[in-house]
């Protein structure tokens, strides 16, 4: 018996990367899974991987930026399984560009998926998690939810917002004695397709950006999933993933706002 045996777990953005690894690791630990994504091909691959572990799985197309659909999805999942215990609000996108060059549309898209997608997933499932008597919300922020870098203003804003939202929710659940635990996750560079799928402003080279990301991302999605699930078991409030995340978090906290000078210089040197 593991901590997750028999529990119903929802994973958004399960068609790739961290979401896929979480789904597989949860399946290995005996969870029953509701997985969703906008990428139906990737989702079907994850579904097959999860089934090969012998896990019960419900796979659905879902765009987390469509609030009404997220609300309906939560009710559908709860009706299908009879309960919901864990929700991993993981779906996310990246976008590279300076504030001066980014359009409002570019910024809205990042906020709609990376922030409002998390808020909708949380609000939609919260009544079901409370009703379960044993709920857990896991919101995926980023190391970029702890400090900012140039060319990632919208992503930074969304990930800082996820952190603020999630930490506030955790306090409310504790104060109101709700049976829902809350974890905020801050991964460093994880080797996934996020940069390959990302968009950027005109004038930046997509392949160059993806190659730079590949150089910096050191942690495997499987390792990230294992760290997250351990933090869930321990009811941690916050978890950092990867040595890069630990080092950068410490550096930013000890140097205060002065970190911006060093990060700005590093970004410039690397053409970011």
Ligand X SMILES: NC(=O)c1ccc[n+]([C@@H]2O[C@H](COP(=O)([O-])OP(=O)(O)OC[C@H]3O[C@@H](n4cnc5c(N)ncnc54)[C@H](O)[C@@H]3O)[C@@H](O)[C@H]2O)c1
**Which two tokens mark 15?**
């068609």
Residue from 155, 160, 165, 213 carrying the catalytic annotation:
155
Number of residues that bind ligand X (CB under 6 A): 31
- Name the token pair of 129: 């998690």
CB 112, min distance to ligand X, A: 8
- Considering the rule CB under 6 A, would residue 34 count as an interface residue with ligand X? no
Concerning whether 155 is annotated as a catalytic residue, the answer is yes
Q: How far apart are CA 199 and CA 229, in angstroms?
A: 30
Based on the shown chain and the rule CB under 6 A, indicate whether residue 229 belongs to the binding site for ligand X.
no
| Rounded Cα distance, 258 and 220, in Å | 31
Distance CA 75, CA 201 (A): 38
| CB 59 within 8 Å of CB 35 | yes
Under rule CB under 6 A, residue 187 binds ligand X: yes
- Segment 42 to 81, residues that bind ligand X, using CB under 6 A: 42, 62-65
Examine residue 24 and tell whether it contacts ligand X (CB under 6 A).
no
Task: Write each residue from 145 to 184 as x if it is in contact with ligand X (CB under 6 A), else as -, in one continuous string.
Answer: ----------------------------------------
What track of x and - describes contact with ligand X for positions 90 through 119 (by CB under 6 A)? xxxx-------------------x---x--
Q: Per-residue string for binding with ligand X, 189-218, x by CB under 6 A?
A: xx-xxx--x-------------------x-
| Rounded-to-integer distance, Cα 271 and Cα 209, Å | 10
Binding range to ligand X, per CB under 6 A, among 3-11, 15-23, 98-106, 176-184: 15-23
121 binds ligand X (CB under 6 A): no
Q: What's the rounded Cα separation, in Å, for the pair 56 and 61? A: 17
Residue selected from 4, 16, 148, 231 as contacting ligand X according to rule CB under 6 A: 16
Cα 254 to Cα 249: distance, rounded to the nearest angstrom: 9
Binding site for ligand X (CB under 6 A): 12-13, 15-19, 37-39, 42, 62-65, 90-93, 113, 117, 140, 142, 187, 189-190, 192-194, 197, 217
Catalytic annotation, residues = 155
């Amino acid at each position: 018996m593991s901590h997750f045996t028999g529990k119903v777990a929802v994973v958004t953005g399960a068609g790739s990367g961290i979401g896929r690894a979480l789904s597989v690791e949860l399946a290995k630990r005996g969870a029953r899974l509701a997985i969703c994504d906008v990428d139906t091909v990737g989702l079907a691959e994850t579904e097959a991987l999860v089934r090969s572990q012998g896990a019960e799985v419900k796979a659905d197309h879902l765009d987390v930026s469509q609030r009404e659909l997220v609300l309906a999805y939560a009710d559908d999942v709860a009706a299908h399984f009879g309960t919901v215990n864990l929700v991993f609000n993981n779906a996310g996108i990246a976008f590279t560009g300076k504030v001066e060059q980014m359009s409002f549309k570019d910024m809205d898209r990042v906020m709609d998926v990376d922030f409002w997608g998390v808020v909708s997933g949380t609000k939609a499932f919260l009544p079901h998690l409370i009703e379960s008597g044993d709920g857990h919300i896991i919101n995926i922020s980023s190391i970029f939810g702890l400090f900012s870098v140039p060319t990632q203003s919208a992503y930074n804003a969304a990930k800082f917002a996820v952190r603020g939202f999630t930490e506030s929710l955790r306090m409310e659940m504790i104060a109101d004695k709700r049976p829902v635990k809350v974890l905020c996750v801050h991964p460093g560079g994880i080797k996934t397709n996020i940069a390959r799928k990302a968009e950027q402003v005109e004038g930046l080279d997509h392949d160059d950006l993806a190659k730079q990301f590949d150089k910096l991302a050191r942690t495997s999605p499987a390792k990230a999933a294992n760290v997250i699930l351990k933090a869930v078991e321990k009811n941690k409030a916050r978890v950092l993933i990867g040595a890069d995340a630990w080092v950068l978090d410490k550096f930013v906290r000890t140097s205060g706002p002065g970190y911006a000078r060093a990060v700005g210089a590093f970004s410039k040197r690397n053409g970011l």
